[in-house]
C-alpha cells in the first residue's frame, strides 16, 4: 500500500534551518503532485508548499522566500528546505500525495524557539 514517511523535524532556534524529507513507497510518486502542510493545535491544517508532477511549485504567502520545495524522482522523495525559521513556523508538518486518493504521512514536529 502507499506509505509516506517523513523525517527531518526537530527543535531549532529563530533564524535557523531545517530540511524535511518525505519518502513515498508503494507508488511512483513522480506521476503526482505532492505537498507539505502544517497544523497547530486548534487550527486547521494549512498548505505550506506544493510541487506538481511537472515541477511547478506553489507556496503559502507566509513562507515565500524562506521555504523551498523540491523532489527527487529517482528517490521517490519530496523535500522542504526551511530557512530563516520563525516561531510562527512551529507546527506538525505533514507530507501529502494526491492521486485519485489523498495520502498523508504521520507528521513531523518542527519547533522554533525564540
Mean pLDDT value across the chain: 96
pLDDT digits (tens, 9 = 90+) for 12-37: 999 999 999 999 999 889 899 999 99
Alpha-carbon span 26 to 1, nearest angstrom: 5
pLDDT at residue 79 in the model = 98
Alpha-carbon span 68 to 7, nearest angstrom: 16
> Hunting for cell 486547521 — which residue is that?
44
pLDDT digits (tens, 9 = 90+) for 46-98: 999 999 999 999 999 999 999 999 999 999 999 999 999 999 999 999 999 99
> Hunting for cell 505533514 — which residue is that?
94
pLDDT digits (tens, 9 = 90+) for 42-60: 999 999 999 999 999 999 9
Residues composing the chain:
114
Amino acid at each position: 500500500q502507499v506509505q509516506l514517511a517523513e523525517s527531518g523535524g526537530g527543535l531549532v532556534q529563530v533564524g535557523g534551518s531545517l530540511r524535511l524529507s518525505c519518502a513515498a513507497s508503494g507508488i511512483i510518486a513522480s506521476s503526482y503532485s505532492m505537498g507539505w502542510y502544517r497544523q497547530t493545535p486548534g487550527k486547521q491544517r494549512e498548505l505550506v508548499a506544493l510541487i506538481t508532477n511537472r515541477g511547478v511549485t506553489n507556496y503559502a504567502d507566509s513562507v515565500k522566500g524562506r521555504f523551498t520545495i523540491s523532489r527527487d524522482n529517482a528517490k521517490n522523495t519530496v523535500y522542504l528546505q526551511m530557512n530563516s525559521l520563525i516561531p510562527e513556523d512551529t507546527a506538525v508538518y505533514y507530507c501529502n500525495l494526491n492521486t485519485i486518493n489523498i495520502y498523508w504521512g504521520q507528521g513531523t514536529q518542527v519547533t522554533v524557539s525564540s
